[in-house]
C-alpha cells in the first residue's frame, strides 16, 4: 500500500487539491503509523462528478453483470485478507486474533450476503396494470467509523454496488488504512472508473461537504448520534435521503431462571469484545436484585481473565481503545460512575498495571448501578459493564426501554417462550435470545436515536433504491 497521500477518484490514484495531512496513530504504541492526506471541498466535488458521470452507465448494468463484479471483488478480497487484518490492528488496536477472525473477514461476509441477496432480489413487481420498479437511487455518500472499519465500509459499499449505485467514501481519519486497501481491492477487481471513489478527510470538512452536496442523492452514515444529527441537518437543504446507524446502550436481561454462572460470563465477554468499542455491545447487564452480589462476584472473576495488552501477543484478549480522545472520555465516565455511587467491582481509572504506553483501559465492572447514572445512560464505548438490578420481569423491560437509544437488546431465559415474549417488548431494532449471534443476512439497525434505516443482506438494499410506479405498463 503506497497511497497514503492520494485519493481514489474516477479509477485513478490522484493527488489531493490541498496540502493538509494527518498522522495515523497506532493506539498500542502511541507512535505514528502513517501520514495521510486530508481532502477538501474541491476533492469532494471531483469525486462526486466522477460518480455522477459513472452512474449513467453503471445504473444500467444487468443483475448478471453486478453478480460477476461482486464475485471478482470477493476473489481479490480473499487474497488481501492478511493485509486488511494487519492494517486494522495497526490503525485501531484490535488484537491480531480478532482482526484475523472477525474484523477483516466481516468484509467478505457483507459482500457474500449482498451477492446472495442480489441473486434473488425482486427489482420489479406487477400490480394489476402497473409495474413497480426499484431503481438505484444515484450517487451515495458513505461515511464510516473506526471501530469496525472494514465491516462498516463493506456493509455500505456492497449493497451500493449490488443495486447499481455509484459512491464516494469517507472513512474515519482515525482508521483510514484499511480503506485504502479496500480501494485497491475494488480497483484490481475491475470496478468501473467513477463507481467507487475514496476521499480521506475529517467530518467538518469532507463529511460536511458530502452531506450538503447537491450532487449526492443519499448519505449513509455510521457513527455517533451527535454526528448523525449534523449529517441530517446538512442534508436537509437538498432533501437527500439519509440513512443512519448510530449509538447504543443495549440492555442484557438475565431472567431469574438462567444459568447465572454461564450467562454472566457470556455477558462480560460480550461487553469486553473489541475493547467495548461496538455500538451494539451489551453494556447494561440487568439482573434480579436478589442475585446482585452473586452476579458481581461472577463478573469479577470473569473480568480478571480479560487481559489487556499488545495486540500481537497471543494471550491478549483486548487491545487499546482507538485514540487518546477516546481514552480520556472513558476515564471521565469511569470516574463519574464512582462519584455517583455505583460499586466498583473491578478495574477503574488509569491504565492497567504494566501498560504505561498505549491507550489501554482496565476491564471495568460496576454493580449496584441505577439507570439514571451517567454510566447507564451514556455510550461509553470502552470495556465498561454496568450491572443494574430489577424487581421483576416488568421492571426489567421498563429499565431496558428507559434510554434514548434502541439499537440492540439481549434476553436470556431457561424458557425460550418467556425470552421471546420479553424480546417482543424491547424497543430495539435487534434482540439476541440466549446468546444467539448476529446474522449478516438479517437487518442491522435501531429504533429511536440509534438510527434510521437498516443495513445488511437484502434489507440493506432498500436505502439504495428508489421506487417507481409505471401506470398502464400492462394495459390490455
Q: Which of 86, 173, 187, 245 is catalytic?
A: 245
Alpha helices in 237-383 (DSSP H): 260-272, 292-303, 324-339, 374-377
Kindly list the structural domains of the chain, giving each domain's residue range(s) and its CATH number in brackets, ordered by start.
7-246+450-470 (3.40.605.10), 251-439 (3.40.309.10)
The reported pLDDT for the residue numbered 1 is: 54
Mean pLDDT across the chain, nearest whole number?
97
**183 φ, ψ (degrees, to nearest 5):** -60, -40
The reported pLDDT for the residue numbered 240 is: 97
CB-CB contact of 142 with 155 (8 Å)? no
Percentage of residues of the chain with pLDDT beyond 70: 100
Instruction: State the pTM of this model.
Output: 0.97
Q: Tell me the average pLDDT across 88-99.
A: 98
- Vertex 315 angle, CA 310 and 321, to 5°: 40
The reported pLDDT for the residue numbered 476 is: 79
pLDDT single digits (tens) 365-424: 999 999 999 999 999 999 999 999 999 999 999 999 999 999 999 999 999 999 999 999
Residues 438 and 431: their CA atoms lie apart, in Å, by 10
Active-site annotation holds for 42: no
Amino acid at each position: 500500500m503506497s497511497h497514503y497521500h492520494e485519493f481514489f477518484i474516477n479509477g485513478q490514484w490522484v493527488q489531493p487539491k490541498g496540502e493538509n495531512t494527518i498522522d495515523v496513530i497506532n493506539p498500542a504504541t502511541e507512535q505514528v503509523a502513517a501520514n495521510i492526506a486530508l481532502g477538501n471541498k474541491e476533492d469532494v466535488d471531483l469525486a462526486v462528478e466522477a460518480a455522477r458521470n459513472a452512474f449513467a452507465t453503471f445504473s444500467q448494468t444487468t443483475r448478471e453483470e453486478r453478480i460477476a463484479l461482486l464475485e471478482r471483488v470477493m476473489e481479490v478480497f480473499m487474497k488481501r485478507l492478511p493485509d486488511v487484518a494487519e492494517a486494522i490492528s495497526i490503525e485501531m488496536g484490535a488484537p491480531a486474533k480478532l482482526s484475523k477472525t472477525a474484523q477483516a473477514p466481516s468484509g467478505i461476509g457483507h459482500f457474500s450476503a449482498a451477492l446472495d441477496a442480489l441473486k434473488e432480489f425482486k427489482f420489479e413487481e406487477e400490480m394489476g396494470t402497473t409495474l413497480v420498479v426499484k431503481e438505484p437511487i444515484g450517487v451515495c455518500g458513505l461515511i464510516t467509523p473506526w471501530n469496525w472499519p472494514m465491516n462498516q465500509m463493506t456493509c455500505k459499499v456492497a449493497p451500493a454496488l449490488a443495486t447499481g449505485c455509484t459512491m464516494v467514501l469517507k472513512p474515519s481519519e482515525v482508521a483510514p488504512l484499511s480503506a485504502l486497501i479496500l480501494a485497491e481491492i475494488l480497483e484490481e477487481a475491475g470496478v468501473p472508473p467513477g463507481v467507487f471513489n475514496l476521499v480521506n478527510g475529517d467530518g467538518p470538512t469532507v463529511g460536511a461537504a458530502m452531506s450538503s452536496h447537491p450532487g449526492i442523492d443519499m448519505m449513509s452514515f455510521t457513527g455517533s448520534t451527535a454526528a448523525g444529527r449534523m449529517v441530517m441537518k446538512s442534508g436537509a437543504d437538498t432533501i437527500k435521503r439519509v440513512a443512519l446507524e448510530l449509538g447504543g446502550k443495549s440492555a442484557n436481561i438475565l431472567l431469574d431462571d438462567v444459568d447465572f454462572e454461564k450467562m454472566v460470563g457470556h455477558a462480560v465477554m460480550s461487553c469486553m469484545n473489541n475493547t467495548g468499542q461496538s455500538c451494539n455491545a451489551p453494556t447494561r447487564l440487568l439482573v434480579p436484585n436478589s442475585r446482585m452480589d452473586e452476579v458481581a462476584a461472577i463478573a469479577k472473576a470473569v473480568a480478571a481473565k480479560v487481559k489487556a495488552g499488545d495486540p500481537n501477543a497471543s494471550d491478549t484478549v483486548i487491545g487499546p481503545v482507538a485514540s487518546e480522545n477516546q481514552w480520556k472520555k472513558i476515564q471521565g465516565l469511569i470516574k463519574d460512575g464512582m462519584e455517583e455511587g455505583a460499586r466498583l467491582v473491578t478495574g477503574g481509572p488509569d491504565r492497567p498495571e504494566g501498560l504505561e504506553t498505549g491507550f489501554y483501559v482496565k476491564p471495568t465492572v460496576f454493580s449496584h448501578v441505577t439507570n439514571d447514572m451517567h454510566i447507564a445512560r451514556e455510550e461509553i464505548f470502552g470495556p465498561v459493564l454496568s450491572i443494574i438490578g430489577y424487581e421483576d420481569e416488568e421492571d426489567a423491560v421498563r429499565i431496558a426501554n428507559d434510554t434514548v437509544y434502541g439499537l440492540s437488546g439481549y434476553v436470556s431465559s431457561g424458557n425460550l417462550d418467556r425470552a421471546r415474549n420479553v424480546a417482543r417488548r424491547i424497543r430495539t431494532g435487534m434482540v439476541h435470545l440466549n446468546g444467539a449471534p448476529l446474522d449478516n443476512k438479517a437487518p442491522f439497525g435501531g429504533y429511536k436515536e440509534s438510527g434510521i434505516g437498516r443495513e445488511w443482506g437484502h434489507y440493506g438494499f432498500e436505502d439504495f433504491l428508489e421506487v417507481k410506479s409505471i401506470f398502464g405498463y400492462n394495459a390490455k
